[in-house]
Structure formats: structure tokens, C-alpha cells
Chain A
Amino acid sequence: MRFALRRLGFFLLTLWAALTLNFVLPRLMPGNPALAIIGKLKGGTSPQALHVLEQQFGIGTHQNVVAQYFGYLGNVARFNFGNSLTTQTGTSVGRIILNAIPWTLGLVGVTTVLAFVLGTGIGIVAAWRRGTWLDSIMPPFFVILTVVPFFWLGLILILIFGVKLRVLPYFFSYTYTLTPSLSLSFIGNVLEHAILPAFALLITTIGTWILTMRNTMITTLAEDYVRMARAKGLPGRRVMLDYAARNAILPNLTGFAMSLGFVLGGAILVEYVFNYQGVGWLLLQAVQNTDYPLMQALFLLITVGVLLAILLSDLATAILDPRTRAAS
């Protein structure tokens, strides 16, 4: 109990620090939203427009920073992040993010879980059958893929399956002329559009899970209790999963919790290469357009996501492994 409370206290402290940084950082960025809009118009407007825009955004009429800071904290507590300045001018930031989150959760979330499950599984089996063809091919192959730049792999996939073979759609999250609905055909369309980005994301992230799982698993397999289990004549599958894997999975689980937290940030490169309308894309847009409210809300979302994930993984580890409790 004391452990849980201490973790919670630490969580709150980190959260406050993150909130404050989140307030300060965007304000240190050069430029302002008015300049960003002028740039977007590619020279299609008159020079006077800058002045007009600065008035619209209230630039030069800054209220004092302390008042801004407390106003900001109050708004965060009420989940009020204000309206987007430039990305989707005037729309509430909350709504913009809510529009983007399902796409990211669907694509990046599902892929992260899949990569973890598959990667850990392959890692367990590879360690168990050390030295077999499976162990000598799978881990090196996928580890090599993790260092392949994602955008490069994505472009190759687009080139092969989209442009040359023309078998899979490669841009957008659904055929853009369709109206989103819950019909089977629309869902099928969404899934079809998710195949290439999900595949690219999967094969570039799975290697890490395989490698860490295989390595801890090998160490665990050398433990006395595993030898004991074998000596007792327990079936191989049971020794592998219940004795070795259960203990070896702890570091992977922590890593998994953290990557779940990062899912909320979207996968900027995936969404960029495949023209996918998720949170990562939104984040990029917000930064490019100097959209402070949107940036703040997104950074906050990511920070809170990661902090929560860490808190949960700490608690989960404590439940699974009594030693972590004792040590504290």
C-alpha cells in the first residue's frame, strides 16, 4: 500500500512538471501563428494580411505570463484546451483530437499489441529451441528490420503493392469519397487501407520484442527452478510457459506498458508516409503551424499517457514480482 501511494505521489509530481514544461516550451518556439498562415498560402495574398492576422490572433496584446500559467492550469483541470489557432481555425482542440484518436488507436494501438504478442511469442520459442533454424533465422532477420528506416520500408511497400501491382490502397485511412459509417463495406474499406501501414509498423517493431524476450528467457532457462521443473518430468510446454516465460516476461511487460503510452502520440512517420489522419499527423501539423493550444493538448495527452502507463506497469510488476515490493 505504501509502495502504491509513493508511486502515485511520484506520478503527480511528474505530471505537474510535465504540465509546466508543456506551458513553457511552445512559447519558446520562434515565429507565430500569423506567420504560419501566411506561409501556408504560398504567396497568394497581399502583404497587409500579416497585420490583420496578428490582430485576429491577439499577438502583441499578451496578458502577463503568470496569469496565463494559472489560467492554463485551471483549463487543463477542466479539460478545456481552447480552440485551434491555425490547424483548423476556431474548432475546439478537444474535438480535433477526438476525431484523430480512433484512427491512431486502431492502427498504432492494434499493431503495438500484435507486435508485442507475436514478438514475445517468437522470442520464447526461439530461446526454448536455441540453435534450431527458427532461432538462427527469425531473431536476426527481424532485428535487422528494426534498423531499416521506417519511411524507406513504407515507400518500398507503397511502390510494390500500391503503384506496381495495384493490389492495395496506400494512402488515406479510407476511400475519401465514402461517407464514414458503421456498415460492413466501410469497415472493410478501412481495414484494407490499414494493411500496408500496419504491416510496415509491425515488421519494424517486432524485432525489439523478440530480442529482449529471447535474451531474458535464455538467462531464466539457466535458473535452478527451471532445471528442477525439468527434473520433475513436467511437460516441455509447461516448463517453457509457466516456469521460464512467466518470469522472463517482466522486462518486456514494462516496455510494453510504455509503448502503449506512446501509442497516443501516434506514429508520425507511419501517418506521414501513408497519408493517415491520426494523432501523429496532427502533432506535426500543430508544430508546423505554431498552433499552441493544439500542441499543448497533444503533448499533454502523450505525457499523461506515458506516465499512466508507467504507473500501471510499476503496479503490475509489483503484483507479479514480490521482490520489487520488498526492495522498496
Chain B
Amino acid sequence: MRRIATIAVLSAAALVAAACGGSSSSSSGGSSGPSGSLTIDNESGGTWACDFNPFNLSDISFSNGNIYEPLVFVNALQNAKATPWLATKWAWGSGDKQLTFTIRNGVKFANGTPLTAADVVYTFNLLKQHKTLDINSVWSVLSSVTQQGSNQVVMKFKAAGVPYFYYIGDQIPIVSKAIWSKIANPVTYPDKHPVGTGAFTMGKCTPQNITYQANRHYWQPGLPKVGTVNYPAFLSNDTANTYLANGQAQWGSQFIPSIKQFYLSKNPSYHYWFPPVANVTLFINLTNPILKNVAVRRAMAYAINRPKVSSIGEYGYEPASNQAGIATPTFASWLDKQQLASYGNYAYNPAKAISILQDAGFKRGSNGIFQTPSGKPLSFTVINNGGFSDWVASMQVIIANLKAVGIQVTPSNVAYNTWQSDIYTGKFDLGYYGQTGGPSPYYELRQDLYSGNTAPIGTAAGSNFERYRDPATDKLINEYAATTNPAEQHAIVNQLQKVMLSQVPVIPVTEGVDWFQYDAGSFSGWPTPANPYARPAIYIYPDWAQVLMHLVPKK
């Protein structure tokens, strides 16, 4: 404890010295200052590289939000509610082709330099100049980013770009022009000593642990309350689970089998919450001559007993999906219940699946497997990640369900690399994979259905792995980009749900969740179903910084 206090005081002193403006920061060691030490527990599979470049995907989850901050916080768990962060206001204009941000006054980087609109303009143009830093491809829709007046930034779009607000506002961290303009190659820059505006600074990093210290000159008065955050490196899930259950870490993002017995039973102040955000989906290769037939896909959607997959394969942690592709309860307000009901909710109904196949002209062979009129059996291979034991168990249920209606599916549980590469390049009949989603259901539906996200078989597709192409659907997706009106957005998403229900391009099976365990005995202020102020998993940025700023140590 004394060590930590010493380090904090030293770094605070260094900050004051660096500020060199002689501002009178009075009580930086006071009783109300940040205190306590939080240990976070998230299996990383490796030791830390101690790089913090916020535009490098390998490092991004260690510095985005806590050290470098974005303009806006968009909360996926509260219907994409946008909260000011480094920007105080924003407004769309010119037919949703122009977005103006007003940058907050009084924000300082950890080295004392004030944040200005010029830093924001610089950050975005840095991404323009170095395409490989632009991991959200915002420059595929932006045409220019310029400063207006003293504290405004104007972003012009090539086409209406409403959904990109999330990527531009929430996902891109703002860096200091003074520092980054001197870096010779920002792409390979390791950023060992990150300087941002965030609530935390990087205190010390070794291959085994990252220590973040509270930024005592943070622009939000009274924040953060937590003094030190330790982020140790765990190689395996078992290790991380043991450490968490043993009380040595307070915030976990772990998959824990039998969580009640292994974790909850250890301490009454231990809790967990797994909010769903996107679906784990059975992708169907639409270039396959048999699977091209919508009747086969509809039959499969009726044949799969999703609640059973959820309870047997996923310990009930991941709830059953609906065929509309809307993750509930998170996005329940978007679900068109009436439309879903008109398809019998695609509830488990093997008899219906069989009658659909019979009506479509398939005949059952002597082995009970349906055949095409030309005698080809409905027999497919499904690729799955053999390393995800829950997904392997889920697939066993799915296979048994499909077998019962006369569709034969052989599992191919392959190594991680093979699985990913085959999913992306379309080398599968059926493939099990989780979509990333976004702050509203539109993002996942776009990932599933937009033809711009697909590619020919053999070439890696962005997210439309089943290779669905439909001009009418593309048109809907583009129209959504041109409206900020919630009623119109809902109408479009309803029509996209119709595509999911009538065409069955993919079959959502269970809802992927954020893994989140917490010890309410040592800290208060955790996100809960009643107060879902941010996605609660450690690896979700910049949300994790919101959580860190809400936590209050209990004495």
C-alpha cells in the first residue's frame, strides 16, 4: 500500500512539474482523492507487450477509453444513448452529410497541454493519411474533417452517414497533435508512454502486469475514485477463473462453467450479469446448390430447438435467439413481435420442418435422410471452433435436432485458425460464428445482410459470410444511413427483420453476451440490469473506462 501511495505521489509531482504553468492545484493527496486498488481478471492468453498505440488493434483495448478518450460515449445497452465525452454537443446537417462537433473546453492531456479542436482534426486526418490506422474505415464515408471557429470540428460525408456516428464518435480516441505529429511512423509506433486526456495514466507495465494510476488532474472533478488498477496477464481461462473465485480480483470477464458453484457460492457479494449484444449464428453457405433453396433453410430454422441449445450448450448463460436477429432483452424495443409471430415465432417445430421439406419436393430416403428429386441427400458439414467447448456442445444439440427432421449434418470441429479462415473465405456448408453487432440491431443486420460486406468464395468477406446479395436489402440498409428519425429507423429495421424471417439467410441460435463478474463487497457502482450505463466486459472499449469511472472503493 505504501509503495502504491509513493508512486502516485511521484507521478502526481511529475505531472505538476510537467504542467509548468504553476496552476494552483491545492489538495492532490486529500482524503477525497482516488484510493483503493482494483484488480481486473480477463484471460488474455499471453503476457503483455506494453504497447498502447490506440489505433493498433493489438493494443487498443489497453488504452482506448481509460487513457485516450473519444468524443462521445454511445451505450449499446441503452438504445445507443449518446453521452458527451470530449465533445459537448454535436449536430447533423446538410441532409445527414455533415456532422459538427463542439469540443469541450478545459480538458488537458496528462502532460498539461490543453485539448483543442485542432487535436481532433489532427487525429482524424492522421487516420486519413495512414489507412492502416483507420480500423473502422471511417474514411470510406468521410470526405473531409476541418476546424470551424475555435472549438468546432466539421465532418463532411460522401453520402449520408448516420450509423457511422458510433464509429466516429465512440470508437476513435483523440490523441495530442503536439506529440503525434513528431512520430515518424505512427503505424508501427508502440506508444510505450501514452499521454491522453483520460481518467487514468499508465503507471508501470511488465510482461506480467499493467498498472494504471488515477489521473489526479482529470478534467471531470472528483473522478476517478479508484486509485490503482492492476491488469495481470492470464494465459488460461482456468487460471483466471481460479484467481477471480479466490477473491484476488474484483472485476472479471470470464466464461466460468457452473458459475453458481464455482463463483457465486464463494462469497455473497459476488455477482454476475451477462447482457446479450449480438447473436451466435449458424451461417448457411448460399452458394451451395441445395442450401440455396429457401425451403431447406426455413426447415432448418424450425427444426433447431434454440432453448435447448442454450441450456445444454451454454449453461443457459447465452439466451436463445429469435430468427429476426434482434438480441433481446437488450434491443427488445426493436423486435417486431407481430411479424415474428406471423412465422410462428420460428419456435421449435420439427413436424413443420418435415412438412416444409416434403412440400418443397424432397423425399425421405431409406436411411431417413431427405433427398433432392435427383437423389442427392441433404447432408452437410458444419465447421465449428473445436476450442470453444460450449459451442461444440451447442452444435451437438443442433445436429441431433436436424437429424430428427431428416437433415444430416457432420461436425467439423477444427482448430481456431482453420475455423476462422474457412468462415471468412466461405469454405463451408454450414458454419458457426458470432457476429460483432453494434449499439443497435441495425449493425448486426447490416453485418449479416449487406452485400458490401461479402466477397466471392475464396476471398475473405467482412461479415456477410453466408454471401447474401439482394439489391432491395442493400437499398434498405443505405436508407437507414440517411435518417436520424427513430420512427423511420424502426420501420427499416422491421423490414430487415422481414428479410431474416422470409429468406432465412442465416439462423441466429443463441445470443452472445458480455462476460461480467464483480465483487460488490470491495467496490460499488457496477453496471447492473437496473442501471446498464455501459457494456460491462473489460475487453469492450471505451465502455470499460466508463465502468472504471463509476466504481467507488468501499472501505
A residues lining the B interface (CB < 8 Å): 29-32, 35-56, 86-91, 99, 155, 158, 162-163, 171-174, 176-177, 179-180, 271-273, 275, 277, 281-282, 284-285, 288-290
**Contact partners of A271 in chain B: CB under 8 A:** 235
Q: For the complex, what is the distance from the CA of A175 to the CA of B47, rounded to whole Å?
A: 14
Q: How far is the CB of B257 from chain A (nearest CB, A)?
A: 14
* Residues 417-475 of B contacting A (Cβ, < 8 Å): 417-418, 420-422, 424, 434-437, 447, 453, 460, 462-463
Are A39 and B420 within 8 A (Cβ)? yes
Does B208 interact with chain A (Cβ within 8 Å)? yes
In the complex, given contacts A45-B136, A275-B233, what are 6 additional A-B residue pairs having Cβ atoms less than 8 angstroms apart? A45-B57, A46-B137, A49-B135, A52-B131, A275-B235, A290-B417
Q: For the complex, what is the distance from the CA of A54 to the CA of B132, rounded to whole Å?
A: 9
Does B190 interact with chain A (Cβ within 8 Å)? yes
Q: How far is the CB of B212 from chain A (nearest CB, A)?
A: 12
Are A43 and B278 within 8 A (Cβ)? yes
Contacts A35-B424, A176-B208; A46 near B436 (Cβ below 8 A)? yes
Q: Residue A49 contacts which of B51, B57, B541 (CB distance < 8 angstroms)?
A: B57
Interface readout for B208-229 with A: 1 if CB under 8 Å, 0 if not?
1101000000000000000000
Are A48 and B47 within 8 A (Cβ)? no
**Contact partners of A45 in chain B: CB under 8 A:** 57, 60, 135-136, 436
Q: For the complex, what is the distance from the CA of A50 to the CA of B137, rounded to whole Å?
A: 11
Q: For the complex, what is the distance from the CA of A32 to the CA of B44, rounded to whole Å?
A: 19
Does B476 interact with chain A (Cβ within 8 Å)? no
Are B230 and A177 within 8 A (Cβ)? yes
Interface readout for B27-62 with A: 1 if CB under 8 Å, 0 if not?
000000000000000001111111100001111110
Are A42 and B207 within 8 A (Cβ)? no
User: Which 5 residue pairs spanning A and B have beta carbons closest together?
Assistant: A31-B417, A88-B49, A176-B209, A47-B463, A47-B462
Are A48 and B420 within 8 A (Cβ)? no
Which residue of A has the minimal Cβ distance to B236?
A: A272
| Interface CB pairs A-B, < 8 A, 25 | A30-B415, A30-B417, A31-B416, A31-B418, A32-B421, A37-B57, A41-B539, A46-B137, A48-B140, A50-B424, A53-B57, A55-B131, A90-B190, A91-B49, A155-B238, A163-B246, A172-B208, A173-B208, A179-B206, A180-B206, A281-B235, A285-B45, A285-B46, A288-B45, A289-B46
Contacts A48-B140, A50-B460, A176-B208; A88 near B51 (Cβ below 8 A)? yes
**Contact partners of B209 in chain A: CB under 8 A:** 176-177
Are B421 and A277 within 8 A (Cβ)? no
**Contact partners of A281 in chain B: CB under 8 A:** 46-47, 235
**Contact partners of A288 in chain B: CB under 8 A:** 45, 416
Does B479 interact with chain A (Cβ within 8 Å)? no
Are B136 and A48 within 8 A (Cβ)? yes
Does B355 interact with chain A (Cβ within 8 Å)? no
Are B232 and A172 within 8 A (Cβ)? yes
Contacts A37-B57, A91-B49, A176-B209; A275 near B137 (Cβ below 8 A)? no
Does B540 interact with chain A (Cβ within 8 Å)? yes
Are B230 and A87 within 8 A (Cβ)? no
Does B83 interact with chain A (Cβ within 8 Å)? no
Q: How far is the CB of B43 from chain A (nearest CB, A)?
A: 10
Q: Residue A44 contacts which of B46, B207, B211, B540 (CB distance < 8 angstroms)?
A: B540
Does B134 interact with chain A (Cβ within 8 Å)? yes
Q: For the complex, what is the distance from the CA of A282 to the CA of B49, rounded to whole Å?
A: 12
Interface size class of B (residues with CB under 8 A): 35 or more
Does B105 interact with chain A (Cβ within 8 Å)? no
Q: Residue A89 contacts which of B58, B204, B236 (CB distance < 8 angstroms)?
A: B58
Q: For the complex, what is the distance from the CA of A178 to the CA of B209, rounded to whole Å?
A: 10
Q: How far is the CB of A26 from chain B (nearest CB, A)?
A: 11
Contacts A31-B421, A40-B45, A179-B204; A158 near B242 (Cβ below 8 A)? yes
Are A35 and B421 within 8 A (Cβ)? yes
Q: Residue B539 contacts which of A42, A173, A282 (CB distance < 8 angstroms)?
A: A42
Which residue of B has the minimal Cβ distance to A42?
A: B539
Are A171 and B47 within 8 A (Cβ)? no
Which residue of A has the minimal Cβ distance to B465?
A: A47
Are B243 and A171 within 8 A (Cβ)? yes
Q: How far is the CB of A153 from chain B (nearest CB, A)?
A: 14
Are B132 and A47 within 8 A (Cβ)? no
**Contact partners of B140 in chain A: CB under 8 A:** 48
Does B13 interact with chain A (Cβ within 8 Å)? no
Are B462 and A51 within 8 A (Cβ)? yes
Which residue of A has the minimal Cβ distance to B246?
A: A163
Interface readout for B373-394 with A: 1 if CB under 8 Å, 0 if not?
0000000000000000000000
Q: How far is the CB of B11 from chain A (nearest CB, A)?
A: 14
Are A176 and B539 within 8 A (Cβ)? no
**Contact partners of B278 in chain A: CB under 8 A:** 43
Q: Residue B420 contacts which of A35, A91, A176 (CB distance < 8 angstroms)?
A: A35
**Contact partners of B187 in chain A: CB under 8 A:** 56
**Contact partners of B233 in chain A: CB under 8 A:** 275, 277
Interface readout for B52-78 with A: 1 if CB under 8 Å, 0 if not?
000011111100000000000000000
Q: For the complex, what is the distance from the CA of A47 to the CA of B462, rounded to whole Å?
A: 5
Q: For the complex, what is the distance from the CA of A184 to the CA of B435, rounded to whole Å?
A: 51
Are A99 and B436 within 8 A (Cβ)? no
**Contact partners of A282 in chain B: CB under 8 A:** 47
Interface readout for B129-156 with A: 1 if CB under 8 Å, 0 if not?
0011011110010000000000000000
Are B57 and A41 within 8 A (Cβ)? yes
Are A44 and B208 within 8 A (Cβ)? no
Are B417 and A52 within 8 A (Cβ)? no
Question: Which among B59, B134, B232, B417 has the greatest number of chain A C-beta atoms within 10 A?
Answer: B417
Q: How far is the CB of B474 from chain A (nearest CB, A)?
A: 16
**Contact partners of A32 in chain B: CB under 8 A:** 417, 421
Which residue of B has the minimal Cβ distance to A99?
A: B207
Q: For the complex, what is the distance from the CA of A281 to the CA of B46, rounded to whole Å?
A: 8
Are A37 and B232 within 8 A (Cβ)? no
Does B181 interact with chain A (Cβ within 8 Å)? no
Which residue of B has the minimal Cβ distance to A176?
A: B209
Q: How far is the CB of B127 from chain A (nearest CB, A)?
A: 10
Q: For the complex, what is the distance from the CA of A41 to the CA of B253, rounded to whole Å?
A: 13
Which residue of B has the minimal Cβ distance to A280?
A: B235
Q: How far is the CB of A180 from chain B (nearest CB, A)?
A: 7
Q: For the complex, what is the distance from the CA of A314 to the CA of B537, rounded to whole Å?
A: 56
Q: For the complex, what is the distance from the CA of A36 to the CA of B211, rounded to whole Å?
A: 26
Does B88 interact with chain A (Cβ within 8 Å)? no
**Contact partners of B418 in chain A: CB under 8 A:** 30-31
Q: For the complex, what is the distance from the CA of A153 to the CA of B504, rounded to whole Å?
A: 49
**Contact partners of B238 in chain A: CB under 8 A:** 155, 273
**Contact partners of A53 in chain B: CB under 8 A:** 57, 132, 135
Q: For the complex, what is the distance from the CA of A55 to the CA of B187, rounded to whole Å?
A: 11
Does B267 interact with chain A (Cβ within 8 Å)? no
* Residues 240-257 of B contacting A (Cβ, < 8 Å): 242-243, 246
**Contact partners of B60 in chain A: CB under 8 A:** 41, 45
Q: For the complex, what is the distance from the CA of A55 to the CA of B134, rounded to whole Å?
A: 11
Q: For the complex, what is the distance from the CA of A35 to the CA of B414, rounded to whole Å?
A: 15
Does B180 interact with chain A (Cβ within 8 Å)? no
